[in-house]
Amino acid sequence: MKIGIIGAGASGVYLAIRVKEKNPSFDVTLIERNDKALKKVLVTGNGRCNYANLGELKGKYNNELANRLLEEFKPQDLVAQFDKYGIHPTYLDELVFPTSMSAQTVVLMLNKKIEELGIKVKLNESVIDYQNKDGKFFVQTNANQYVFDKLVISAGGKSYPQLGTDGALLDILRKKGYKIEALSPSLSPIKTKENTKRISGQRAKAKVSLYKDNKVIYEESGEVLFKDDGLSGIVILNMSSYINRLNDQKGLKLVLDLAPNAESIKQNQYYEYVAPKIAEYLVSNDLDIHRLSFTFKDFYDYKIAEVSHGGLSLSEINDSLKSKKEKGLFFTGEVLDIDGMCGGYNLMFAFASAEKVSKALGE
């Protein structure tokens, strides 16, 4: 059985390993356009790779399919599997990292496994098309043609194109008649109508409330980073994920309480609660420390968004992540219309989807 996997990123590599472990006789080939496998994993979690989360899953993804897959292959199962590969866990609350606190360990150990198992890796080859003829997949790259019995598309989404993910496979799928849900940057900083240049680079702890039509629809606390023309920080990235799920993004306001644990602070006390530059900005503009309001304008570019929202419509696949249109074709990871919030949810889904497909490929 010849299995082809397009994309040697998080889900493609983990899938190749799991398929080969379970079916040693299978011939497994990864095709990757970068000069190395797992380039994006290296930059995850600020170079520390937050690969799982043992906390609450409810509301963390835009679609319940992710939750169902993580019911079958629990975060603890992933942690145990990684442990076997020499990626031992360290916990920061519910967030799971490698003990080394280095993404390089994850990349090293998974690459070691690929080599041990004899998985073929074709680097510097970009898939430009595939054809499905007489039950076989003919995959065309810029350099070669490959023939596989089964094909898996693990080519990621559209964010961080500088690391190989520019949505090229989604364009190919669209041309073949697959439904692609509209793409947009997610886990991205947010551009606001208000100019924040004067406090650009400043950070503050805040309770952030997202308002639609004067009603709070989402709330989270954390550190906010002010940018020239917008806001960043994990709490804001999560807001972007939430906003992406809304059908109507008009009239959204983000209201920051920069002193959530204090009540009705007078302007002359602002300096006690926020950095002097922020206090000065608030006072000189006569702004309320408890209600610093921003109007949502847009997300920042894909170049700095951690994931993309949208992708291959889930109406095109069954619960085994198999194409309904083409027999023998499967999908894993971010190429699908599934994205999660910050905290290990996206990698965890990438690995859980790969685990699911590894079972289906063996059947």
Query: Least CB distance from residue 154 to ligand FAD, whole Å?
Result: 5
Does 190 engage in binding with ligand FAD (CB under 6 A)?
A: no
Query: Least CB distance from residue 198 to ligand FAD, whole Å?
Result: 28
Does 8 engage in binding with ligand FAD (CB under 6 A)?
A: yes
Q: CA distances (Å), 191 to each of 198, 237, 238, 282, in order?
A: 15, 11, 14, 19
Footprint (CB under 6 A) of ligand FAD, residues 238-297: none
Beta bridge partners of 190: 231, 299
- Which two structure tokens, joined as six digits, stand for 142? 């810029």
Site string for ligand FAD, 113-142 (x = CB under 6 A): -------------xx---------------
Query: Least CB distance from residue 30 to ligand FAD, whole Å?
Result: 9
Does 155 engage in binding with ligand FAD (CB under 6 A)?
A: yes
**Number of other residues whose CB lies within 10 A of the CB of residue 363:** 5
Q: Give residue for tokens 């530059």.
A: 277
Region of 62-70, 78-86, 178-186, 339-347 interacting with ligand FAD (CB under 6 A): 339-347
Footprint (CB under 6 A) of ligand FAD, residues 30-59: 31-34, 39-40, 43-45, 50
- Phi, psi angle pair for 340, to nearest 5°: -125, 180
Compute the distance between CA of residue 273 and CA of residue 288 in angstroms, rounded to an integer: 13
Binding residue (CB under 6 A) for ligand FAD from 165, 188, 192, 244: 165
Region of 67-75, 199-207, 273-281, 327-335 interacting with ligand FAD (CB under 6 A): 327-335
Among 342, 302, 306, 285, residue whose Cα is nearest residue 92: 342
Q: CA distances (Å), 5 to each of 10, 122, 137, in order?
A: 12, 10, 11
DSSP state of 243: H
Region of 205-213, 241-249, 315-323, 328-336 interacting with ligand FAD (CB under 6 A): 328-336
- Phi, psi angle pair for 322, to nearest 5°: -100, 140
Among 86, 77, 85, 83, residue whose Cα is nearest residue 54: 77
Binding residue (CB under 6 A) for ligand FAD from 137, 146, 226, 345: 345
For ligand FAD, which residue has the nearest CB? 9
Does 233 engage in binding with ligand FAD (CB under 6 A)?
A: no
Give the full edge-to-edge strand order of the sheet including 52-53. 52-53, 95-98, 89-92
- Binding stretches for ligand FAD (CB under 6 A): 6-12, 31-34, 39-40, 43-45, 50, 126-127, 154-156, 159-160, 164-165, 168-169, 306-307, 333-335, 344-348, 350
